[in-house]
Amino acid sequence: MGRGSTRSNGGLPADRPELLMADYKPLYTPAEAVLEAERCLYCSDAPCIQACPTGIDIPVFIKRIAQGNLRGAAHAILDANILGYSCARVCPVEVLCVGACVYNPWKRPPIQIGKLQRYAVEAVWDRAGTLFERHPPNGKRVALVGAGPASLAAGARLALAGCEAVLFEKRPVAGGLNTTGVAPYKMHAHDALREVELVESLGVEIRTGVEVGKDIPHEALLAGYDAVFLGVGLGADGMLGVPGENGPGVVGATAWIERMKNTPAALDGAPRSALVVGGGNTAMDVLQELRELEVGSVTLVYRRGSEAMSGYPHEFDRARRLGARALFDRVPLEVLRDADGVTGLRVAEAKGGKAVPGTEEILPADLIVLAVGQAKFKDWVTRFPGVEVDARGRVAADPETGRTANPKVYAGGDCRNGGMEVVNAVAEGKRAAEAMLADLLEGEP
Ligand code: SF4
């Protein structure tokens, strides 16, 4: 894809490793969807709606599936969450809508809301863009930096309201983490790009291969647009800060996932034994992906106990069912290498996250994946006058409106919240778009 291209599909290679991983929640057949939809109690005051950050009217869309009104079901979903397709596939529904379903306390299987949501949107995929009518142009121009879920959601809302919404994305493909970082057993990159095309069909323009600050100055966005939305996500993978970690065979988790999803045969050779350092959901994803790619030995290394991990227990359980192992209370000390590359990791037992002297051991491995957090774009965002970051490096912005201290600049998604779910980024993008519309159109008829 050339610099400045407005096409969203970057021509993903047909032999990328992510395609080796099958969908772990396959699409419902029509009969399965109706059977599941008819189990729903269509609760008033439905707790599943309260648990959805984008507030999708879940009982309404499920009832429409039961009635055979798939277009109506898709409209109810996408009107609240234009990325309702990817959220259906990647949301941790077990701790959101499905986890809140009234069937749970009765020890009966909760309604499979994510699978029904995916079914409804896929049923109308080719016509999804026609579900919405765009308002006439209102003369307002908004630049959105990054083309991940927050910017896509904000851009869609702005475009439908009649604004000119232009997304600037430095990568060759749009979609953000949906395209580069989602575990392939949840969603493949080409499905994420399909959703990007839906957003484009609403009138959103996406310029891929354009880096703000390099190809176009920050000042040019402020001068050329009525508002600027920052949806830039997070930066480079964190490192351990131990000897030997710089070099082949040690890779950041999001960089490894991106290569596996978007580039051909990019597995750093054929690892036989891998260690994954960390305890969050990115680490859980990598554990499962390595095992699904048939890496023989895959072990999590975490400096505290399992109860301290921020990764979801259901994801860890799946990783273990796939054969991944875990070593808790271990702190990495040194990456060991020989002439052929990485040979292992020297670790020590940890107490309170600190190494206990005399407890060292060597864990053999030829691949080490670091899932220990990501940097923030502190210097980049503060080049917009008045925009500040908080003590954790997140863009300082009102969580309800995305407004920053610069009245023209708004922010949402991971760069503001520090790294949450796709659905949180969508919700923040949507709310920021509403704030932008209120500010830009104030006093206009
Ligand atoms: Fe249906 Fe469960 Fe939501 Fe009630 S809580 S509306 S049963 S999905």
Q: Give the residue carrying structure tokens 């519309």.
A: 437
pLDDT at 421 over 60: yes
Q: Give the residue carrying structure tokens 């630049």.
A: 143
Task: Please work out whether the CB of residue 46 comes within 6 Å of at least one atom of ligand 1.
Answer: yes
pLDDT in tens, 284-313: 999 999 999 899 999 999 999 999 999 999
Please give the full DSSP string across 308-339, using - where no structure is assigned. G--S-HHHHHHHHHTT-EEE-SEEEEEEEEET
Task: Please work out whether the CB of residue 87 comes within 6 Å of at least one atom of ligand 1.
Answer: no
Determine the pLDDT at residue 252.
96
| Per-residue confidence band for 1, with pLDDT thresholds at 50, 70 and 90 | very low
- Given the CA of residue 39, which atom of ligand 1 is nearest to it? 7
The amino acid at 327: L
Question: What value does the mean pLDDT take over residues 225-246?
Answer: 96
User: Do 149 and 177 form a contact (C-beta atoms < 8 A)?
Assistant: yes
Determine the pLDDT at residue 5.
35
Task: Please work out whether the CB of residue 43 comes within 6 Å of at least one atom of ligand 1.
Answer: yes
* Nearest to 250, CA basis, from 330, 161, 342, 177: 342
SS3 32: helix
**CATH class belonging to 250-370:** alpha beta
* Nearest to 276, CA basis, from 256, 261, 246: 256
Same fold, 133-235+375-440 and 250-370: yes
Task: Please work out whether the CB of residue 48 comes within 6 Å of at least one atom of ligand 1.
Answer: yes
Lowest-confidence segment of 14-28, 290-304, 363-377, 393-407 by average pLDDT: 14-28
**Ligand 1 centroid to 105 CA: how many Å?**
12
Q: Hey, what CATH topology would domain 133-235+375-440 get?
A: FAD/NAD(P)-binding domain (3.50.50)
Pocket test for ligand 1, best of 35, 40, 45, 104 (most atoms within 8 A of CB): 40
Element (H, E) at 294: none
Task: Please work out whether the CB of residue 102 comes within 6 Å of at least one atom of ligand 1.
Answer: yes
pLDDT at 422 over 60: yes
Determine the pLDDT at residue 92.
94
**Ligand 1 centroid to 52 CA: how many Å?**
12
pLDDT at 10 over 70: no
Protein residue with least CA distance to atom 4, ligand 1: 43
CATH code for residues 16-130: 1.10.1060.10
- Parallel, antiparallel, or unpaired for β 367-370 and 250-252? parallel
**Ligand 1 centroid to 36 CA: how many Å?**
11
| Per-residue confidence band for 443, with pLDDT thresholds at 50, 70 and 90 | low
pLDDT at 4 over 60: no
Kindly list the distances between the CA atom of residue 142 and the CA atoms of 21, 151, 165, 262, 436, in Å, as whole numbers in the listed order.
Answer: 38, 11, 5, 29, 9
Determine the pLDDT at residue 21.
86
Helices (H) and strands (E) in the chain, counts: 17, 14
Element (H, E) at 348: strand 341-351
Task: Please work out whether the CB of residue 52 comes within 6 Å of at least one atom of ligand 1.
Answer: no
Q: Average per-residue pLDDT in the chain? A: 93
DSSP character at residue 444: -
pLDDT at 176 over 80: yes
Domain edges within the chain:
16-130, 133-235+375-440, 250-370
Model pTM greater than 0.85? yes
Task: Please work out whether the CB of residue 40 comes within 6 Å of at least one atom of ligand 1.
Answer: yes
pLDDT in tens, 66-116: 999 999 999 999 999 999 999 999 999 999 999 999 999 999 999 999 999
pLDDT at 268 over 70: no
Contacts of 312 (CB under 8 A, 6+ apart): 92, 94, 95, 281, 284
Determine the pLDDT at residue 6.
35
Pocket test for ligand 1, best of 65, 93, 101, 116 (most atoms within 8 A of CB): 101
